[in-house]
Amino acid sequence: MKINIIIPALEKNNYSSRGDLLKWGDSNLLEWKIHQALQIKGINKIIVSSPSKSIAKIVGKYNITFHLRKKTASIDKLHLDLSKKFNNCYLLWLNPTSPFISPELINNFLQKFKKNRKKFDSAVITKKEDEYFFYKGTPLNFDVKSKLVSRKLIRPLLRVSNGAFISNSSYTITTKNIIGKKPLLYNVDWLSSLEIKTNNEIDLFNLLIKEYFKRF
């Protein structure tokens, strides 16, 4: 089973003018993710994909591959282009904006998919949410006609965490999707599921770095 790691990276994005080069601990988000990726077992290649020359220089410090993409390329276009470039393999997508997914967790995620890949065509990191949810005024996981049930009794929903995906490149080429019809849903804890989405979250997340290292 051939697996390549893909790390999409931007010099600027919606949450910061520093993008994935934002200071994180004693490094930055991108290099933090590269160091995590280097600890994943059984990987063929690690590829960082970016339109940035600054990011290309950082990648040059490591024994990994840099893929130059167009600035205008959407994430869907990136999924398709890299699936074509690295065809006939599985791609493990790791996003720098999810810094609390540990190498140990990713290794376990990957191993579980390897053992069960005859049952599943892709894999997704998820977080179980034991809350009450509505969609367009209709309850999704509880019944408004009966008494409001305890959180322990409601039907939990699984929220997709963008921290890690496993896709089949051939399937993506055919369907233009990285999540298949039968994905392995790998549930993680709250800290591991966190993703930086806004500027307001950056300072808070930096405070949580100590909590991350308490696990090792």
Q: What is the CATH number of the domain that holds 126?
A: 3.90.550.10
Mapping DSSP to helix (H, G, I), strand (E, B) and coil, where does residue 212 land?
A: helix
**Token code pair at residue 125:** 């990191």
Task: Give the position of tokens 């369907």.
Answer: 175
Domain hosting residue 72, numbered range: 3-213
For residue 170, give both structure tokens.
């051939």
Rg (CA), the chain: 18
Q: Indicate if the pLDDT at residue 6 is higher than 70.
A: yes
Q: Which of 163, 202, 192, 189 is nearest to 28 (CA)?
A: 202
Give per-residue pLDDT as tens, 71-107.
877 889 999 999 999 999 999 999 999 999 999 999 9
100, two tokens: 């609390």
Cβ proximity of 202 and 196 under 8 Å: yes
Confidence of residue 128 (pLDDT cuts 50, 70, 90): very high
Instruction: Give the pLDDT band (50/70/90) at residue 144.
Output: confident
The per-residue pLDDT for 134 is 85
The identity of residue 7, as a single letter, is: I
Assign 35 a pLDDT band (cuts: 50, 70, 90). Answer: very high
Let me know: does 191 contact 100? Beta carbons within 8 Å: yes
In whole angstroms, give the CA distance from residue 167 to residue 176: 11
pLDDT of residue 201: 76
Tell me what pLDDT residue 123 has: 98
How does the average pLDDT of the chain come out, rounded?
90
Residue with tokens 């509880």: 142
What's the whole-model pTM score?
0.89
Per-position DSSP letters for 24-49, written without gaps between them: ETTEEHHHHHHHHHTT-TT-SEEEEE
Looking at the structure of the chain, the number of domains it has is 1
